Structure 1
Amino acid sequence: MKKGILLVNLGSPDTPNPKDVKRYLGEFLMDERVIDVPLWARNLLVKGIILNTRPKASAKAYQKIWWDEGSPLIVLSERLQEKVQNNVDYPVALAMRYGSMTIKKGLQELVDKGCTEIKTVPLYPQFAMATTETIDVKVDELVAEYFPDIKITRTPAFYHRKDYISVLSKSIAEKLDGIDYEHILFSYHGVPERHIRKSDVTNGNCKMDGRCCFKKGSEQHEFCYRHQCEITTVNVAKALGLKNGTYSTTFQSRLGFDPWLKPYTDRTIERMGKAGTKKMAIVTPAFVSDCLETLEEIAMEGEEIFHEVGGKEFTVIPCLNDREDFAQVLTNIIEEWASKEKALTV
């Protein structure tokens, strides 16, 4: 069986104009694992309200961060793909869960190259229903309908890998070298609290009070986004030698009125600024590629909030993007899979 690799990221509008943004938002928000309400309610919310009000504002936000080469997320993902391809002997394709760079096109590219065994690598360090799971489900649907003869191997969350923590920690240390800061905020993409409950394989052990996040050996941790975010912060803080009280975990990008994971990033920035914090650094470990949520929501809106309440210095740490050492982490994941598969066939 010829092996192939499919890297999958979130996606992006084709252009930052309202028409393309509306099309992209429609596909993204109508995903039942992103807005997990009954179809009639999702149609009412997305098609009846959001798509009639949000595209113009979102388009303006995209225009602020758009590069000459295109969407930052797409450009950075393509650069990462190229570096991983240079490291391995297997064909490496790139796809997006939403937008025109579809997963179907990515799978077809690998099949056209003769691949019959494909490892999917979602570019999300932490598992979430609205990220990794929706990719896995979409791949399964496409394979069943269009590619019944290929074998798919999934990649589990890699938030706890030593090489990933080492690279993430190194990227933070490099950016903060010589910078005086008082507090580091680890800001992760938010999800509704109900997503955590739905992903709880123990059927009710999670009480959403944070205590179970740090218990060792819980079977629910394999699919608990909150746990994986908290542990990412803990492991990086340990690697960097951060003192208690000098760092914290928050969640950004909430939508609607239901409870989302707390504390909220924007409110934490505002609260700490009002409390006298003058120098803040912020890192976004749920994103491997800089995108709207990091370049506009954090680096622009977050900094504006901080300055408005008296903050002075706001340092944004870039995502891992196409760093050579991050490409090596993905290479390690691929090679470990290939070696294991080879060993099983000897």
Structure 2
Amino acid sequence: MKKGVLLVNLGSPDSPEPKDVKKYLGEFLMDPRVIDVPLWARTLLVKGIILNTRPKQSAEAYKKIWWEDGSPLIVLSEQLQEKVQEKVDFPVALAMRYGSMTIKKGLQELVDKGVEQVFLIPLYPQFAMATTETILVLAEEVRQEHFPNLNIESLPAFYNNPEYIKALSESIKKSLAGKTYEHLLFSYHGVPERHIRKSDITNSHCKPSDKIDCICCKTPSPAHEFCYKHQCKEVTRLVAEYLNLEDNTYSTSFQSRLGFDPWLQPYTDRTIERLGKSGIKNMAIVTPAFVSDCLETLEEIAMEGEEIFHEVGGKQFTTVPCLNTDDNWVAFLANRINEWSKNTVEV
């Protein structure tokens, strides 16, 4: 059976204009795995409040980071697709969970090339309901409705894969070479605490309300396979170990919270503020939940984060780029694809 690969990233509005941003936000925020409340409440919140207030503000943010070629996330993902394609012998397609580059279009592109077995790669190192899970669920729904004869397998979360840790660590080392910094902050995209509890397959292990030093994250458990907080903390630990970072020179935080429910803590904006007020003059920040630079890294961190740091007395704020099209990252993906090909049983 002919094999193919589908890379899937988050997505982007078609343009930074409010109408396109509103359409994109509507699809994104109405996903029950992003805002996991009853439909009536989600509809009231998203369509009754957020989409009447946020699109214009978000459009201004997108305009700040929009490239001549389009959305940075889309452009960088397309470049990644091209580089991975050069290293494997199977067709490699690209899709987005939200927006016009749909998973259905990506699968159709592969099917049109005769593909019958698909290796789906969610471009997220850590598992979360609002990232990996929603991609896998939608892909299966699309397969059942439109491609019932297609076989789809997926790459599990790879947060602790030594090859991935090496790629991330070396990219940080390269980015910070020759630069002075007193603290390295690992900022991950935030999720509501309830997402951690819902993903706990043991129904008893995860305690996301432990704000910083989460004991359950350090205690071995089957729950860790789907625990976003554990996986984020493990990336920090493994990278710090690889780079021989000294204690108290690095930490973990979570960004991009929405609404009033408890989200994973500590929060990135408050952590940046605290570091600046504590006397840290030079800090660096890396965002390992993202593999492609996007609104959250280019505007929320590189612009808003730096502004917060300077306001409290900080001087040098260095943002480490995402892996984007890093050669080690491309090699990691190509190796996973080739391993899948060798281990896949013909059906």
Same fold (TM over 0.5): yes
Deviations 1:144-181 (A, max 9, x none): 10000010101100111111100100000011111111
Moved over 3 A (4+): none
Deviations 1:58-102 (A, max 9, x none): 000000000000000000000000000000000000000000000
Which of 203, 215, 218 is 1:214 aligned to? 218
Distance in 1, Cα, partners of 2:275 & 2:190: 19
Q: How does 1:119-198 map to 2 (within 5 A)?
A: 119-198=119-198
Distance in 2, Cα, partners of 1:293 & 1:222: 25
Aligned twin of 1:107? 107
Deviations 1:298-318 (A, max 9, x none): 000000000000000000000
Aligned twin of 2:239? 236
Aligned twin of 2:84? 84
Q: Call closer, same or farther: CA 1:345–1:54 in 2, change over 3 Å.
A: closer
Distance in 2, Cα, partners of 1:335 & 1:160: 19
- SS in structure 2 at match of 1:234: helix
Which of 286, 289, 293 is 2:289 aligned to? 286
Which of 296, 304, 307 is 2:299 aligned to? 296
Question: For residue 214 of structure 1, what is the amino acid of its counterpart?
Answer: K
Which of 271, 274, 277 is 1:274 aligned to? 277
Q: How does 1:251-262 map to 2 (within 5 A)?
A: 251-262=254-265
Distance in 2, Cα, partners of 1:139 & 1:58: 28
- SS in structure 2 at match of 1:281: strand
- SS in structure 2 at match of 1:237: helix
Distance in 2, Cα, partners of 1:206 & 1:240: 28
User: Is the aligned partner of 1:309 residue 2:319?
Assistant: no
Question: For residue 334 of structure 1, what is the amino acid of its counterpart?
Answer: I
- SS in structure 2 at match of 1:14: coil
Distance in 2, Cα, partners of 1:44 & 1:114: 43
- SS in structure 2 at match of 1:329: helix
User: Is the aligned partner of 1:8 residue 2:8?
Assistant: yes
Name the Cα RMSD after superposition: 0.9
> Shift of residue 206 of structure 1?
1.4
Give % identity.
71
Q: Call closer, same or farther: CA 1:345–1:138 in 2, change over 3 Å.
A: closer
Question: For residue 124 of structure 1, what is the amino acid of its counterpart?
Answer: Y
TM-score, normalised by the number of residues in structure 2: 0.98
Distance in 2, Cα, partners of 1:86 & 1:309: 47
- SS in structure 1 at match of 2:342: helix
- SS in structure 1 at match of 2:232: helix
Distance in 2, Cα, partners of 1:270 & 1:232: 23
Distance in 2, Cα, partners of 1:107 & 1:244: 46
- SS in structure 1 at match of 2:82: helix
Structure 2: stretches of 5+ with no match in the other structure: none
> Shift of residue 345 of structure 1?
5.4
> Shift of residue 207 of structure 1?
2.1
Structure 1: stretches of 5+ with no match in the other structure: none
- SS in structure 1 at match of 2:86: helix
- SS in structure 2 at match of 1:220: helix
**Which deviates the most, 321-330 or 205-214?**
205-214
